[in-house]
């Protein structure tokens, strides 16, 4: 039989793990902001020279944090000089090699990548806080369910973009599933929109939104600021 203490311990373990990712994502953002502050000096816009050293910071993050399938930076498009890439994002291929993200930035095209309107960018920009988006299918990168952690960065008080990382749900499974399975009944980690990130049974499928709550379903909010994450379980 699952006790309240068991559930509390699982919630704390999940919160600790997510907090660890949050800490690393914030460090990446701080490193990006520090580099840009140094490289920009008194320039008003990001040029190619301002990006020197950025690739190394991203690669170092990916080398240190093997759970991340991708990492990098997306800039506020209006802060970048014409002809300079508006994002520096790298992801791991199945071989383990890193590949730079390439996307169509032609307005009006069928595959126009208007990232500034996507939650991983817009939510971080509007709230000024680390944000979590997902799970969603990453059609431009690994073409699998992922979730994105991003935080905004500022240079001299001016918002310049967001930095962060992606995790594949299938890579997350062996890391947090042992905690979820401590609860012998159906249980799942869900996001702020009540979508399942990962469940311990077929009852809760990745990406499924919980629209109605049964009397025997319970929710415990995770102690991770600004994320809106919860542990749900049945009795």
Give the mean pLDDT of 58-73: 96
Residue 202: is its pLDDT beyond 60? Answer: yes
Distance CA 70, CA 141 (A): 9
Whole-structure pTM value: 0.93
Give the mean pLDDT of 86-104: 92
- Report the candidate in 185, 208, 184 with the shortest Cα–Cα distance to residue 196: 208
Give the mean pLDDT of 190-199: 97
Supply the pLDDT for residue 107.
87
Q: Is pLDDT larger for residue 142 or for residue 90?
A: 90
Residue 1: is its pLDDT beyond 60? Answer: no
In angstroms, the Cα distances linking 176 to 5, 82, 197, 206 are: 18, 43, 11, 14
135 upstream amide cis, omega within 30 of 0:
yes
Q: What is the 3-state secondary structure (H, E, C) of 77-92?
A: HHHECCCCCCEEEEEE
Q: How many CB atoms lie within 10 A of CB 145?
A: 19
Q: For the stretch 164-189, what's the b/e string if a residue is b when 16 or more beta carbons lie within 10 angstroms of its beta carbon?
A: bbbbbbebbeeebeebbeebeebbbb
Confidence of residue 168 (pLDDT cuts 50, 70, 90): very high
Asked if 37 and 155 touch (Cβ cutoff 8 Å), the reply is yes
Supply the pLDDT for residue 110.
86
Confidence of residue 142 (pLDDT cuts 50, 70, 90): confident
Give the mean pLDDT of 4-33: 95
Residue 24: is its pLDDT beyond 70? Answer: yes
The full length of the chain comes to 235
Least confident stretch, 48-57, 105-114, 215-224, 225-234? 105-114
Give the mean pLDDT of 203-227: 92
Q: Which fold has domain 13-170?
A: Beta-Lactamase (3.30.450)
Supply the pLDDT for residue 42.
86
Supply the pLDDT for residue 170.
94
Domain boundaries, the chain: 13-170, 183-234
Q: What is the 3-state secondary structure (H, E, C) of 37-64?
A: HHHHCCCCCECHHHHCCHHHHHHHHHHH
């Amino acid at each position: 039989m699952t006790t309240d203490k068991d559930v509390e311990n699982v919630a704390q373990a999940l919160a600790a793990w997510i907090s660890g990712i949050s800490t690393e994502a914030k460090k990446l953002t701080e490193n990006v902001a520090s580099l840009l502050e140094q490289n920009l000096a008194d320039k008003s816009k990001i040029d190619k020279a301002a990006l020197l050293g950025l690739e190394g910071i991203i690669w170092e993050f990916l080398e240190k944090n093997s759970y991340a399938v991708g990492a990098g930076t997306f800039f506020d498009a209006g802060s970048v000089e014409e002809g300079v890439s508006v994002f520096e994002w790298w992801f791991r291929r199945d071989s383990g090699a890193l590949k730079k993200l390439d996307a169509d930035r032609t307005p009006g095209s069928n595959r126009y990548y208007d990232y500034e309107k996507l939650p991983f960018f817009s939510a971080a920009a509007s709230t000024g806080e680390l944000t979590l988006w997902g799970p969603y299918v990453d059609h431009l990168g690994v073409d699998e369910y992922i979730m994105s952690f991003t935080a905004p960065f500022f240079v001299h008080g001016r918002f310049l973009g967001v930095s962060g990382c992606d995790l594949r749900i299938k890579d997350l499974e062996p890391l947090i599933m042992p905690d979820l399975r401590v609860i012998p009944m159906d249980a799942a980690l869900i996001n702020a929109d009540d979508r399942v990130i990962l469940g311990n049974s077929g009852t809760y499928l990745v990406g499924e939104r919980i629209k109605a709550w049964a009397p025997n379903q319970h929710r415990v909010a995770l102690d991770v600021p600004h994320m809106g994450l919860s542990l749900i379980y049945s009795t």
